Amino acid sequence: TQPGKISGIVKTQFGYHIIKVLEAK
């Protein structure tokens, strides 16, 4: 998993978050 290109569900200390980031850099 590289920064700038993430797609999926990430578990944080707050709970589950759906991450959809497009590689715009």
Task: Say what the pLDDT of residue 19 is.
Answer: 62
pLDDT for 3-19, tens place per residue? 555 556 666 677 766 66
What pLDDT is recorded for position 17? 64
Instruction: Please give the model's pTM, rounded to 2 decimal places.
Output: 0.22
Angle (nearest 5°) at CA 12 between 16 and 4: 95
**Domain total of the chain:** 1
Strand blocks (E) in the chain: 7-12, 15-20
Confidence at 21, pLDDT banded by 50, 70, 90 = low
Nearest to 7 by CA among 24, 25, 16, 22: 22
**Residue 13, pLDDT score:** 74
Domain around 10:
1-25
Q: Is the pLDDT of residue 1 over 60?
A: no
Any idea what DSSP says for residue 5?
Answer: B
